[in-house]
Structure 1
Amino acid sequence: MQKTTQLTLLKCIIVLGLLLILSGHSLLVVDGFRQYFGMYSYMLGAMCIAIGLILSLPTKIYLTILLMRHEGHDSKL
């Protein structure tokens, strides 16, 4: 896999993770959803936030490492 497609994939995973975090928060805040599903709404909201964190955090670290390598190659030239 090329670096550009790999970076694009990682950026999409970060966006997906952030969207899951936001959707999980909105599930926890909306009253109608909580009244309809009861306790399961809290579990679903927490699961969305947890999966979003799992998707977003490691990819940010990997992108930071790639950026540092890229900066190192530019400074050598």
Structure 2
Amino acid sequence: MADAKLILLLKTSITLGVLLILLGIYCHNFSASVEAMGVNGIIISAMCIAFGMVLSLPTKMYLTFILVRRESEQQKQQD
């Protein structure tokens, strides 16, 4: 897979992860219907946050690795 496509996929994954985290926070703090569900509502909001973290955190590390490698290659070409 080309670097550009991989970077786009990783950025999309980060965005989806952050949106899931925000959805979980919204459901946990501001949604009356989730509060009315009781324990099931807490589980739903916690799962949104957990899946958001799974999508966003490892992807950020890998994306940072790719960008640092690309930057070092560009500096080698300039020297």
- TM category (shorter chain) comes to over 0.9
4+ runs deviating over 6 angstroms: none
Give 1:21's aligned residue.
21
- Could you state the TM-score of these two structures normalised by the residue count of structure 1? 0.92
2:71 match = 71
Distance in 2 separating the partners of 1:24 and 1:75:
41
Tell me which amino acid in the other structure corresponds to 1:45: S
Equivalent AA in structure 1 for residue 39 of structure 2: M
Inter-partner Cα distance in structure 1 for 2:5 and 2:31 = 41
C-alpha distance in 2 between matches for 1:2 and 1:67: 14
Q: How does 1:1-20 map to 2 (within 5 A)?
A: 1-20=1-20
> For the aligned residues, what is the CA RMSD?
0.9
Q: Could you list the runs of 5+ residues in structure 2 that have no partner in the other structure?
A: none
Distance 1:60 1:68 in 2: 12
TM value normalised by structure 2: 0.90
Identity %: 42
